[in-house]
Amino acid sequence: MKNYMIIFLIAIISCSQTADQKQITYNEEHQIANEIDEKSSSLKNSSGQKTHGTFETYVNNKSFFIRTFDINKDGIADKVVSNVAYEGEDLFVFFGNKAGGYDEVLETTNFSEDGGNIIKDIYEIAGEKGFMVKTYFPDKGYYEKEFYIVPENNTWILKNTIYKTMSDVSENSVKYICDVMQNINITKSGWSEKLQPIPDENERNRKCRTESVKNSVKQYIIQDPDGYTNLRKDKNTSLAILQKINSGESIEVINNTGDWFLIKTKKGMTGYVHKSRVQVN
């Protein structure tokens, strides 16, 4: 009888130890899972997207370039960060805050394509909220895409894409400029599948604007009686001067509507000059 009692007590003690060990193992696993969740959460912003770091992460980073302008027109400069060509497809938007810092508000693509168009630059949309991403085909031929992105109702909308290409390579070729409406929320998963492409070739004469190739390539230069003109932050002579541009210097005109042209200088600065100081060469 004593032997049976001893065996029974040993079994109870063994089961008790096993239960304690299981409880310890469960608690350890539960703690590890919580730590993983916390780390995962720390890598996400308020919209649930993974972040790649603060704005300072990209300063002096050769894999990225930065453009500065007031995207949401609140009077505070914002930053758009993009991978340079062949270095990736990431694009981030940081809104400037009153404390002098920057808050990430968008993580998306710079619309570079593997084997296709690559990032060329990012521009301000003159007089409107948002920004424009321009890509181009780096090899022979002519194919540009301009993606117009705007903040709207606490999200980001790709409003439209302007496709630019040639009809052919003959002397009588024309440039097709196809403005395609998109209205896609680019913060939602699967948005790129909704992207509308350039119209088919047999529809371009009907759906796209055309320009003669001979007349489409214009060279712009600065011509000022003072010998130089000022590149302004915005369309006003009282606003900050970003750069002095010498007369005779060639520029790229991004937007030539209104009295002030949005231009880009040889140094890569983007700003405004009065149309009276721009000459078509």
Where residue 145 falls (left for φ over 0; alpha for ψ -120 to 50; beta otherwise) is beta
- CA triple 72-86-59, angle to 5 deg: 50
Domain ranges of the chain: 1-42, 55-216, 220-280
Please list the alpha-helical segments (H only) found in the chain. 2-42, 204-207, 213-216
Pick the CATH number of 220-280 from 2.30.30.40, 3.90.76.10, 3.40.50.1820, 2.30.40.10: 2.30.30.40
Element (H, E) at 108: strand 102-109
In this structure, what token pair is assigned to residue 130?
Answer: 């948002």
Burial 61-87 (b: 16+ CB within 10 A, else e): eeebbbbebbbeeeeeebbbbbbebeb
Amino acid identity at 46: S
List the chain pLDDT tens, one digit each, 281 residues: 545 555 544 555 455 454 444 444 445 444 434 443 443 333 333 334 444 579 999 999 999 999 999 999 999 999 999 999 999 999 999 999 999 999 999 999 999 999 899 999 999 998 899 999 999 998 766 789 999 999 999 999 999 999 999 887 666 788 999 999 999 999 999 999 999 999 999 999 999 999 877 655 567 899 888 889 999 999 988 889 999 999 889 998 888 878 899 999 988 899 999 988 998 76
What pLDDT is recorded for position 149? 98
In this structure, what token pair is assigned to residue 115?
Answer: 């084997």
CB 228 within 8 A of CB 246: yes
Number of neighbouring beta carbons within 10 Å of residue 122? 22
Helix-, strand-, coil-residue percentages of the chain, each rounded to 5:
20, 40, 35
- If you write DSSP's letter for every residue of 166-187 in order, what string do you get? ES-SSTT-EEEEEEEEEEEETT
pTM to 2 decimals? 0.62
Grouping H, G, I as helix, E, B as strand and the rest as coil, residue 78 is: strand
Cα–Cα distance between 32 and 22 in angstroms, integer?
15
What pLDDT is recorded for position 48? 41
Burial class (CB in 10 A: 0-12, 13-18, 19+), 272: buried
What pLDDT is recorded for position 24? 40
Phi, psi of 58 (to 5 degrees): -100, -10
